[in-house]
Structure 1
Amino acid sequence: MAKDQYLAGKLAIVTGAGKPTGIGAAAAYALAQHGANVVIHYGKSSAAAAETVKKIEALGVKAVAISTDQESDTFGQDLVQATLKAFNTETIDIIVNNAGTAACYPNVESIPLKDFDWMFRTNVRGPLLLVQAAIPYIASPGGRIVNVSSVVARTGCLPMYSATKAALGTFALGWGEELGPKGITVNTVLPGPVETDMVLPDDHPIMQKFRFEQHIKRNGTTTEVAETILFLASPMASYLTCQQVSIDGGMTYR
């Protein structure tokens, strides 16, 4: 069944979208189903990114895979300029800040400083650099920025990772206030446990805690997260900004 093409002609950048089984790829596919052309940003796996592009192009839209280093000082400029060149445009409509990294440590004493710097550089500075570089080109009005955080930003599990994800929500509050007068919305999604290659095993203590707190006691799917991102990036969410939307089976509302 054909989807409503309410994003026809729109251009979206989705970071960390190279893995076909990840949230980023699912979000890119959902946007493309409704007509958006999509930049598939990826880090290392060109083969996986090419697979995602092929799947999206089958929908009849344009998709381009672009590899840039999210830890680089020029990450934002590199990705934005490559996007504008690939699509021969001066306008970017949607940014989904999805790319990130994670690591588990048994306690606070065991966190190496180099890992602290690496995680904040990737998860926090990367999205900041992309938005800074994109602002002159974001559609006004009608631009959309969606940050992909995590439920742990509200629970405190995995404290270093959760701190980086909480920063994305705080960024969205400030960016939303600044960009709102231009008709640009900024929102955050906070997925709970989702079936990706990053999900913890069911017998992990953190997962057992999650299951106890959930009302819907299962992992989510990438499609379920992607559909929420799609809504926030759509015209239907034009009066919704600075919000943090949990997609977690109800666990943060117990």
Structure 2
Amino acid sequence: MQDLKSKAAIVTGSATGVGAATAKLLAAQGCNVVVNYTKSKAEAEETMEACRAEGVKSIAVQANVAEDDDCRKLVDACIGEFGRLDHLVNNAGTTKFVAHSDLDGLDADDFRWIYSVNVVGPYQMIKHAAPHMRKNGGSVTNVSSIAGVTGLGSCVAYAASKGALNTMTLSLARALGPEIRVNAICPGMIQGKWLREGMGEDRYDGFLQHQLKTNPLQKVSTPEDNARAILMFIQGSDLITGETLLVDGGYHLGFAPTVAR
């Protein structure tokens, strides 16, 4: 297991949810953390303070990863504050909740916006981070989605963007080796505020119960579950790159059969 003490990480979209859980977990391992947010300043500062409570340095930086200058600002802030950058977690993402059969529910602007955050954003972050990360070696972990594997998700554009992020993970794992490892996690349903608000209370609760009954593991992930998967890529074997890890309770396998126990 790699020692993360005194190393530095940027976690995009880390005011709440998976990003916040990841920032806190990295801090607990002794890693200094840049907490990133676009609008949720109060939540980002809470996450930053939780990281500092672990005895590490942490700053909160407002930046929109869809903007190249903001991505550069995030990296510059990390180098300016900590003097190094070792790990990048591309967690920031967006979507629009539209039934896949509703072809009029998405337009070109929707696709452009979703891709600008979910695909172009991670690319821009990696572009600016890579020169610094090459100095000491490091890792990139992209937070993708099971939607990028199954084609199911909040909307067609979201699923397509996550499929593109998975492919980009492979491309950049080849391009950035041997100094930098690039991997991705693909969560299934994640319990929490973001999905509940997007789906609506009734639909969220129904989908949660369905997953708990039909997933082979009869579990639905939390932000903390996904943070641990991210930490595994960061802190685990230095021989793992170009991998996409499905964190979905077995959802991709289909419904669990009813068997006698």
**Aligned equivalents of 1:49, 1:119: Cα separation in 2:** 22
**Aligned equivalents of 1:247, 1:75: Cα separation in 2:** 30
Report what 2:215 is aligned to: 214
* Displacement of 1:202: 6.2
* Displacement of 1:167: 1.4
Aligned match for 2:47, one of 38, 52, 60: 52
Report what 1:186 is aligned to: 182
CA RMSD of aligned residues (A): 2.0
Structure 1: gaps (5+ residues): none
> What are the residue-to-residue correspondences of 1:130-141 with 2, within 5 Å?
130-140=125-135
Matched position secondary structure for 1:223: helix
> What are the residue-to-residue correspondences of 1:22-171 with 2, within 5 Å?
22-87=17-82, 89=83, 91-106=84-99, 107-140=102-135, 142-157=137-152, 158-171=155-168
Report what 1:232 is aligned to: 233
Deviations 1:124-156 (A, max 9, x none): 111111111111101445311000001111121
What letter corresponds to residue 216 of structure 1 in structure 2?
L
What letter corresponds to residue 196 of structure 1 in structure 2?
G
Report what 1:11 is aligned to: 8
* Displacement of 1:206: 6.3
Matched position secondary structure for 1:185: strand
Q: Could you tell me whether the CA contact under 8 Å between 1:150 and 1:165 is conserved in 2?
A: yes
**Aligned equivalents of 1:145, 1:110: Cα separation in 2:** 33
Matched position secondary structure for 2:193: coil
What letter corresponds to residue 224 of structure 1 in structure 2?
D
**Aligned equivalents of 1:211, 1:164: Cα separation in 2:** 27
How many residue pairs match? The answer is 245
- TM-score scaled to structure 2, two decimals? 0.87
CA separation of 1:67 and 1:194: change in aligned 2, threshold 3 A: same
**Aligned equivalents of 1:191, 1:202: Cα separation in 2:** 22
Q: Could you tell me whether the CA contact under 8 Å between 2:211 and 2:219 is conserved in 1?
A: no
**Aligned equivalents of 2:51, 2:171: Cα separation in 1:** 33
- TM-score scaled to structure 1, two decimals? 0.89
Deviations 1:38-75 (A, max 9, x none): 00011112111111111111110111101112222313
What letter corresponds to residue 44 of structure 2 in structure 1?
A
Structure 2: gaps (5+ residues): 255-261
**Aligned equivalents of 2:114, 2:212: Cα separation in 1:** 26
Which has the higher mean CA deviation after the structures are superposed, 213-222 or 64-73? 213-222
**Aligned equivalents of 1:225, 1:61: Cα separation in 2:** 22
Q: Could you tell me whether the CA contact under 8 Å between 1:5 and 1:33 is conserved in 2?
A: no
Report what 1:243 is aligned to: 243
Q: Could you tell me whether the CA contact under 8 Å between 1:80 and 1:133 is conserved in 2?
A: yes
